[in-house]
């Protein structure tokens, strides 16, 4: 996983609520066995017309947003399926930070696991940031994770909260399996204690 420290980039405004994971990546593109290569299908139904050509009205098909690394939306971003293909598709497109007033739980979690920073900011602040983003190529936002602020094009700063453990993992680019395995002794102890207390819990063994 790539580290996330300070990101200064173009932000794309997508002023919609309830953008579901089927919208981010439709199920028919989930047949891959890899994490990469899904960027071309991100937002497929909004991004392409029925004949496969680009829909010029969709923000990510417009300059400078083709190079957007930040996406700003309204409430409940990433609702629906648990598919991690949604953050994989965003990441493969180039998105490293998503900003919304609220996120669906699993998507929120999946973003962190892939080095994408999800930032929760109030609705009216998201509206302001979308207005900044509409100023075009010069309107870069800076996401400063060490200082936990979004720096707007006019230099004003918007503070945000992030879970300390997740912040640490993002800053260091660490996956959490290694960290959990440092507690392997405790896991084993837990298993031994439980198999004594609840010996009836069946093991799944096929004939």
Partner 1 sequence: MAPRTLFDKIWDSHVVETLPDKTAILYIDRHLVHEVTSPQAFEGLRLSGRRLRHPDATIAVVDHNVPTSDRTQPIEEAESRNQIETLERNVKEFGVPYFPLLSARQGIVHVVGPEQGISLPGMTIVCGDSHTSTHGAMGALAFGIGTSEVEHVMATQTILQKPAKNMKVVVEGQVGPGVTAKDIMLAIIGHIGTAGGTGHVIEFAGSAIRELDMAGRMTICNMSIEAGARAGLVAPDETTFEYVRGRPFAPKGEGFDEAVAYWKTLAADEGAHYDRVVELRAEDITPVLTWGTSPETVIPVTGTVPDPAAEADPGKRAQMQRMLDYMGLEAGQKIAGTPVDVVFIGSCTNSRIEDLRAAAAIAAGRKVAEGVRAMIVPGSGIVKAQAEEEGLDKVFLEAGFEWREAGCSMCLGMNPDRLTPGQRCASTSNRNFEGRQGPGGRTHLLSPAMAAAAAVTGCLTDVRELI
Q: Determine if 52 is a binding residue for partner 1 (CB under 8 A).
A: no
Asked if 115 and 123 count as a contact pair (C-beta separation under 8 A), the reply is no
> For residue 64, how far is the Cα from the chain centroid?
21
Q: Determine if 183 is a binding residue for partner 1 (CB under 8 A).
A: yes
Contacts of 59 (CB under 8 A, 6+ apart): 12, 13, 14, 65, 68
- Output the smallest distance, CB 101 to partner 1, in A: 10
127 is written with which tokens?
């509206």
What does the angle CA 132 – CA 135 – CA 138 come to, to the nearest 5 degrees? 100
* Shorter beta-carbon distance to partner 1: residue 48 or 153: 48
Instruction: Choose the binding region for partner 1 from 51-59, 65-73, 77-85, 142-150 (rule: CB under 8 A).
Output: 77-85
- Output the smallest distance, CB 28 to partner 1, in A: 6
* Shorter beta-carbon distance to partner 1: residue 156 or 195: 195
- Output the smallest distance, CB 93 to partner 1, in A: 18
Closest among 86, 97, 159, 96 to 122, alpha carbons compared: 159
- According to CB under 8 A, which one of 8, 161, 180, 195 is a site residue for partner 1? 180
Give the CA-trace dihedral at 44, 49, 51, 54, to 10 degrees.
-80
Q: Determine if 164 is a binding residue for partner 1 (CB under 8 A).
A: yes
What is the DSSP secondary structure assignment for residue 202, as one 8-state letter? P
Q: Which residues bind partner 1 (CB under 8 A)?
A: 15-18, 20, 22-23, 26-28, 30-35, 45, 50, 74-76, 79-84, 87, 102, 104-106, 109-110, 113-114, 163-165, 175-177, 180-181, 183-184, 186-187, 190-191, 194, 198-206
């Amino acid at each position: 996983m790539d580290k996330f420290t300070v990101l200064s980039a173009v932000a794309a405004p997508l002023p919609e609520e309830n953008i579901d994971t089927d919208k981010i990546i439709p199920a028919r593109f989930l047949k891959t066995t890899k994490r990469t290569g899904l960027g071309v299908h991100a937002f497929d139904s909004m991004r392409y017309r029925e004949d496969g050509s680009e829909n010029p009205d969709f923000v990510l098909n417009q300059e400078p947003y083709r190079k957007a690394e930040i996406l700003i939306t309204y409430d409940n971003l990433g609702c629906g399926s648990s598919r991690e293909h949604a953050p994989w598709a965003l990441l493969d497109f180039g998105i490293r930070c998503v900003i919304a007033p609220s996120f669906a739980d699993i998507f929120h979690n999946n973003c962190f696991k892939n080095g994408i920073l999800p930032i929760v900011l109030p609705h009216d602040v998201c509206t302001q940031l979308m207005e900044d983003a509409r100023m075009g190529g010069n309107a870069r936002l800076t996401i400063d994770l060490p200082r936990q602020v979004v720096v707007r094009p006019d230099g004003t700063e918007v503070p945000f909260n992030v879970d300390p453990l997740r912040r640490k993992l993002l800053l260091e680019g660490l996956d959490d399996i290694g960290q959990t395995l440092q507690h392997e002794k405790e896991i084993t102890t837990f298993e031994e204690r439980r198999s004594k207390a609840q010996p009836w819990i069946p093991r799944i063994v096929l004939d």
